[in-house]
Structure 1
Amino acid sequence: MTDIEFLKYPIGKFKLPSPPTEDTLKEAIESIHSLPNLLEQAVISLDDSKLDTPYRPGGWTVRQVVHHLADSHMNAYIRFKLALTEENPTIKPYDESAWAALPDSQLSILPSLEIVKCTHFKWSFLMENMSKQDFNRTYFHPENNNSPKLSEVTHMYSWHGTHHLAHIQHLALRNNWLTQ
């Protein structure tokens, strides 16, 4: 039996590096930049039955995870642009579980892989061209009642992409999909 906590958090829960440094920020940006290729490698050969397998009991399917990454990271990119062009703007939270249940989460994963690829291309380019002051800019998250710095958000989304990629990779390992 596999530990449910490991199935939920295969790379552990998010922890901001203490202290965050320019090096950890560069690593986080590189992680965001490289996610599309790693994600595509992890899912491109999976058939529909594998894509419709939950990564854990009660969890999303691989297909839903891929669509979630597209939805979540599009929102993150928009939040960055808002924070860079407005003073501590209030962002719009959304119900990610409700989004994962919408009909478009049953589509082929190919459109979402393209969304992730294009979003991450623009997002990583934007971050690579941001100043130290830009990374200190914030947005207000009304659900969390906080205003995280974009440097913190960068680390969090680096973790987020790696976290969901690990869900898929560990599922493939547990089910011996890599040898089939």
Structure 2
Amino acid sequence: MKSNIDKLKFPIGKFIAPNTIDNGTITKWIGIIQSFPDLLKKEVQELSEEALQKTYRPNGWSIRQIIHHCADSHMNSLIRFKLALTEDIPVIKPYAEDLWAELIDSKELAINSSINMLEALHYRWVVLLQNMTPSDMARQFRHPDSNELINIKTNIGLYAWHCEHHLAHIKIAKMNKE
């Protein structure tokens, strides 16, 4: 049973950073980040209120919560990128994404607010990413929970994965008969 839940939790697998991240890989990842809002909108634009309550696994988030989570997460990520670009190895502020997903705005608010936010945020984010220098890509931030140093180019990959990861969750939830 655990492996089935793991497949539902991580339908595209967990993010694994490649040993070498070249310009082609970064360009591909930026393209995924750029296309995410449109792909998300296409997946959910015709869903009823009832369909937005479907989950991708038992005790998992609803489609509505996933959409609002993506807005929350990507907003936090853009801030982390900007901190890394403007400060010397900043310690980022983590947030309790599981608790944020239980707040009323994540559980009940119309999805258009977060889709609109994602469209604007990703537009700005992609402009920033496309104009980074190699030295910008090497800049880092520290995650206080793990004390890990994370460089910007690896974080681009993590968020390209995050986009695809949650699109997969939505596709699974849409097929859920419950």
The aligned counterpart of 2:134 is: 132
Residues 83 and 137 in structure 1, CA contact (< 8 A), matched pair in contact too: yes
TM-score under structure 2 length normalisation:
0.94
Residues 135 and 149 in structure 1, CA contact (< 8 A), matched pair in contact too: yes
TM-score under structure 1 length normalisation:
0.93
Confirm whether residue 86 of structure 1 aligns to residue 87 of structure 2: yes
SS at match of 1:117: helix
Runs of 4 or more, structure 1, over 3 Å off, are none
1:140 deviates by: 1.1
Q: How does 1:41-60 map to 2 (within 5 A)?
A: 41-60=42-61
The aligned counterpart of 1:27 is: 28
Residues 14 and 156 in structure 1, CA contact (< 8 A), matched pair in contact too: yes
Residues 36 and 163 in structure 2, CA contact (< 8 A), matched pair in contact too: yes
d(CA) in 1 for partners of 2:175, 2:60:
17
The aligned counterpart of 1:102 is: 103
Residues 93 and 142 in structure 1, CA contact (< 8 A), matched pair in contact too: yes
Question: Structure 2, unaligned stretches of length 5 or more?
Answer: none
AA aligned to 2:133 is S
AA aligned to 1:66 is I
Q: How does 1:133-152 map to 2 (within 5 A)?
A: 133-152=135-154
1:174 deviates by: 4.7
SS at match of 2:120: helix
SS at match of 1:139: strand
Alignment length, in residue pairs?
175
Residues 17 and 24 in structure 1, CA contact (< 8 A), matched pair in contact too: no
d(CA) in 1 for partners of 2:103, 2:25:
36
Residues 7 and 55 in structure 1, CA contact (< 8 A), matched pair in contact too: yes
The aligned counterpart of 1:178 is: none
AA aligned to 1:75 is N
Confirm whether residue 6 of structure 1 aligns to residue 20 of structure 2: no
1:170 deviates by: 2.3
d(CA) in 2 for partners of 1:170, 1:51:
12
Root mean square deviation, CA, Å = 1.4
The Cα offsets for residues 13-37 of structure 1, whole Å up to 9 and x where unpaired, read as: 1111232211111111110000000
d(CA) in 1 for partners of 2:113, 2:14:
29
Question: Structure 1, unaligned stretches of length 5 or more?
Answer: 176-180
The aligned counterpart of 2:64 is: 63
Residues 66 and 113 in structure 1, CA contact (< 8 A), matched pair in contact too: yes
The Cα offsets for residues 138-170 of structure 1, whole Å up to 9 and x where unpaired, read as: 111101211110000000000011100110112
d(CA) in 2 for partners of 1:159, 1:130:
20
